Structure 1
Amino acid sequence: MLQNTTIAKINQELEEERSFLEIILNINPNYIYVKDGDDKLAIVNDSLAKLCHKSPDEIIGVKENIFNKDFLLLEEEYHLNQTVINSNGELRTVEWQFFPIYFKGNHNHTLGLGTDTTQRKRDEEMLVKSENLRVLGEMAAGIAHEIRNPLTSIKGFIQLLDQSVSDSNEKFYLSIISNEIDRINEVVGELLFIAKPQASIQTWQNVNMTKVIQDVKMLLEPTAMLIQASIEIQAVDNQLKTSAIEEKQVKQVLINIFKNSLEAVSKGGRIRIKSEKIQENRIRIRVIDNGGGIKRSVLEKLGEPFY
């Protein structure tokens, strides 16, 4: 009875030690597995099982090459034991290290240790992009100064032409040209802002959004005519006014969206602008085209500068 009690106590201590080692193994965020001499997985931690969206019991006993193909879903394999894994539609970059395990003088098992480097690679890419933007900012400052000089001359000649013509239509077109030159100057100012940020000056004036939309349509109609596309304004209210925006900035936004639509539609395409008041202090403007749409792989990159 004493012997049995001692053996039971030793077995209990061993079981507790095993449970403790399993806890340490499973709380480790790295991906860990052990394969035996037959290349079958003998131990798999929870992190690796979750990466594969399986339970450890489903993976243990599977050969390593089958595990990589059917469970790990390798997308690409790089040098230095780096792999790209498709985990439930999300690509993860993993760096692997392999260590031989010697037990009782024999090398029968190998430890595989995987470190997820996805976030590190994203951070490195962000650093590269930040550096590129810094260089672009310095270039923008030099280009902006060069552009402003000829613009000043063009603006002056437009003003001289305006004084010499009497036709109302011609005066109207000259005013549009003058306004667009002013807008180019503002864009140039924004390029300078990239290199040398300064406080922006907000002007709270009442803005007629219907007129802004009509101005944008007029500006881009010649481009639309080149591809035989039509631009149609569908306004519920012809007097949509607000003072909560900068007119020139929202005009630039609409121009950018219109240009995207014009690039998306094919010959004979159709672009519609719908504007309406949806609440007391909210206006909704929709630019709708019959182009092919944006691929899902591209959508996540839309916020990147110059993409």
Structure 2
Amino acid sequence: MEGMLRFSEERFSKAFYYSPHSLSLCYLDSGKFIDANDSCLKMHGYSRDEFIGRSTLDLNLWVDMDERAKYLKDIKEKGFAHNHEVRNYKKSGEIFVALSSGVVIDLNGEQCLFVLKSDITELRQYQREISRLDRLNLISEMAAGIAHELRNPMTTVRGFLQILGQKERYIQDREHFNLMIDELDRANSIITEFLSLAKNKVVDFKKQNLNTIIKAIFPLIQADAMVTANYINIKLEKIPELLLDEKEIRQLIFNLVRNALEAMPPDEYLTIKSYLDGSEVVLSIQDRGIGIPLDILDKLGTPFFTTKDNGTGLGLAICYSIANRHNAKIEVKTSPEGTTFYVRFKISA
């Protein structure tokens, strides 16, 4: 019997330490970790010495304390919690999404909590991307038709306003006419941006190097940074040529850089990188702002959604459309220390 028990303990120990899933054990009352496998330590970004003997509160793991309260409510009322979707901080401050299940067990007369976690961050990002593309496709189908119908009457109105503004009897109203013309021009520029969302927009693909485009627009990016009293770092590695529409890639970089600069306080560095990652060329733009709130993160790239007083909400939507036309993918990683946008281009065969 003793031999069977020892064998069972050995099997549990191997299953615990070598499991690809995050497994941990903590005291129920204090929440302090008794043990954790390597998958758990890697998921959270801590060494064993940093993790064991501390609680989730000590480590500041919980992003949302309401999620913690619901999780503990199930543990106390049922003795277990099953597949709670939770958001946790890594040691680096990066947020990840996990499915967490826990069960109360007795360990040498002490009540403990055995926890299993699976990282579903990539799955949720993929689902967000599919949803975002669906929204973009719907709006892009509307864009071409609506833009044409709006532009025709606006052009007519603008023409008559110019004629009326030149007549002597309306000289006292000329300032008002000019204001109306300016507003029509502004509306027209928004329509032009709106048309950039159209998935059937004509693009001029040519084999060229992303680094060449970045270097060409670097002086303009530096000028933008000077306006916000910030600095630009570029770290460009050797990368292969891609099929790119230069005008569109310029617009994508400008939009991402300007968003990043607006997110940062003065005297900070924005870093632009290009590098090879397997079969992809990656453009990354990293700011040193305060991060993107979770409720806004899910809405990034939604046309006309903006948190700016004077924004149209089309800048990021256009970036996602450009990436889509280039068969590229945009990923976002955010933390209280800043946000990084990754644009991943597949290398042409």
TM-score by length of 1: 0.44
Q: Which has the larger radius of gyration?
A: 1
Higher RCO (CA < 8 A, seq sep 6+): 2
Q: Which has the higher helix share?
A: 1
